[in-house]
Structure 1
Amino acid sequence: MTPTLPAAFLTVPLAHRALHDVADRRPENSRAAIRAAMAAGYGIEIDLQLSEDGCAMVFHDYDLDRLAEGSGPVRERTREELRAIPLRGGDGEGIPDLADVLELVAGQVPLLIELKDQHGEMGVTDGVLERAAVDALQGYAGPVALMSFNPNSVAELARLAPDTARGITTSAYDPADWQELPEAVCDDLRGIPDFQRSGSSFISHEAADLVRPRVQALRNSGVPVLCWTIRSAAEETAARAFADNVTFERYLSPLTS
């Protein structure tokens, strides 16, 4: 049986890569941004990349250059090396691993974890990042859900952690925005054909494409639809007509009591 997305993911907005703002020394996916999101009462969305030694690191990009005081692929550094590399725009904190973040959040707010595609072209996964994430989550008691753009990764998560809610991160898959993918792959993924095969509990869809009939058909059938990435109050108002919750950044989404 497919697990239900915890209700908490539909009741508080989710801070995209945590409540980041480098003007306040809070880089993306940093401990500082996570602490700020919790203090404000928001849920948190984070990203995972794999270290050289098979650990789940909380970091968005495949390379270090944009976000950290380092260069080159994340996958060419060990966990301890990555934890020692300061994030750009922060106060010297290194890149956290998933265990660090789980200890910090400790079930206080919903935590949405996106696993980045590790193999290119949304292909078959070797399961290493999925296993690292599931292992780190052992014993974690708070509201948590896992997701990935790669449906094969979501299917692997269903196999490894059948009781944990998981979903597909979905998109309009405009080939101009996805130049790393063959157009045929974009055409296939656009229709969300793997929702049932992957054992998904929800989707998180590109906000500008929420009116797509396939997305709304899923929602009308009872599938929770989250969306990414909302960057203003006006965008949020528009998105909430077609989605059950938002992932936001660059403004403060209103909290409802």
Structure 2
Amino acid sequence: MMTDLPAAFLERPIAHRALHDLAAGRPENSLSAISAAIEAGYGIEIDLQLSSDGVPMVFHDERLERLTGARGLLGARDAAELSALRLKGSDEGIPTLAEVLELVAGRVPLLIEIKDQDGALGPDVGPLETAVTNALRGYEGPVAVMSFNPHSVARMARLAPKVPRGLTTEAFAPHDWPGVPGSRLEELRGIPDYARTGASFISHGWTDLASPRVAELRQQGAAILCWTIRSPEQEAQARAVAQNVTFEHYLA
């Protein structure tokens, strides 16, 4: 069963990892970046990883080094430890999905990317998807989930069929996906799982929007979002195909 993407996701640009600006003290995926996006009236895209005690944390990377002063895997620490860490350039901790949902409170569209937990875009998924489903129960307001891993999207279809879902897609160049077999990347390049996952949209790497498969999906009624736009010039080019953009480092 497909659940349509709410029109709100096509009506306002979507801030990538929220409206982050490290120079202004707003790290990516932080509560301050989320507050800034809400204030500016933008939609918000966030990323989720899973803590050791099963809490969805709003954080992009598997490892902590780039974004915090800590070392190691995010998944090796519990939610309390992760919330106590400081995001670089701020005095904020890593937020939980529950904290973000409470802050957004339906005021702007929220696009949630479930990061691959399998490690090779394979079938070893479930705990994060279950935790996301539990967190979203009772949430009111435009929300949608997506993932590069179609197994994750298929799991969300079973767990939360009324939550709109989509596939995060791109050209899947091997150098961008170390550890994922080339045959798997070749398979994903054709976006073969759109129908079986009950997806209603894709969010596609903007430099690959000319892909015939993207045109085919749009013709079939799929909503086409794209990532990550970093200038007005890129936005103008992307909007020739995409119905909305995910952006950063300028104001769309």
TM-score (normalised: structure 2):
0.99
Instruction: Measure how far apart 1:173 and its partner are.
Output: 0.8
Partner of residue 133, structure 2: 134
Gaps of 5+ in 2: none
Partner of residue 78, structure 1: 78
Give the partner amino acid of 1:108.
R
State the identity as a percent. Answer: 60
Partner of residue 201, structure 1: 200
1:106-255 maps to which residues of 2 (within 5 A)? 106-253=105-252
Instruction: Measure how far apart 1:125 and its partner are.
Output: 3.0
Instruction: Measure how far apart 1:38 and its partner are.
Output: 0.5
List structure 1 runs of 4+ shifted beyond 4 angstroms: none
Gaps of 5+ in 1: none
Instruction: Measure how far apart 1:180 and its partner are.
Output: 2.5
CA–CA distance in structure 1, aligned partners of residues 110 and 199 of structure 2 = 17
Worse-superposed segment, 118-127 or 78-87: 118-127
Partner of residue 66, structure 2: 66
Partner of residue 48, structure 1: 48
Q: Secondary structure at the match of 1:29?
A: coil
- Cα deviations across residues 122-170 of structure 1 (Å, max 9, x unaligned)? 1103310001111001110010000000000000000000001000000
Instruction: Measure how far apart 1:16 and its partner are.
Output: 0.1
CA–CA distance in structure 2, aligned partners of residues 187 and 127 of structure 1 = 24
Contact in 1 for aligned 2:3/2:163 (Cα 8 Å): yes
Asked whether 1:13 is paired with 2:18, we answer no
Q: Secondary structure at the match of 1:163?
A: coil
- Cα deviations across residues 37-75 of structure 1 (Å, max 9, x unaligned)? 011010000000000001100000000100012111000
CA RMSD, Structure 1 to Structure 2 (Å): 0.7
- Cα deviations across residues 213-256 of structure 1 (Å, max 9, x unaligned)? 00111011110010000000000000000111000000000xxx
Give the partner amino acid of 1:25.
G
CA–CA distance in structure 2, aligned partners of residues 137 and 71 of structure 1 = 30
Give the partner amino acid of 1:88.
K
TM-score (normalised: structure 1):
0.97
Q: Secondary structure at the match of 2:176?
A: coil
Q: Secondary structure at the match of 2:168?
A: strand
Give the partner amino acid of 1:30.
S
Worse-superposed segment, 103-112 or 124-133: 124-133
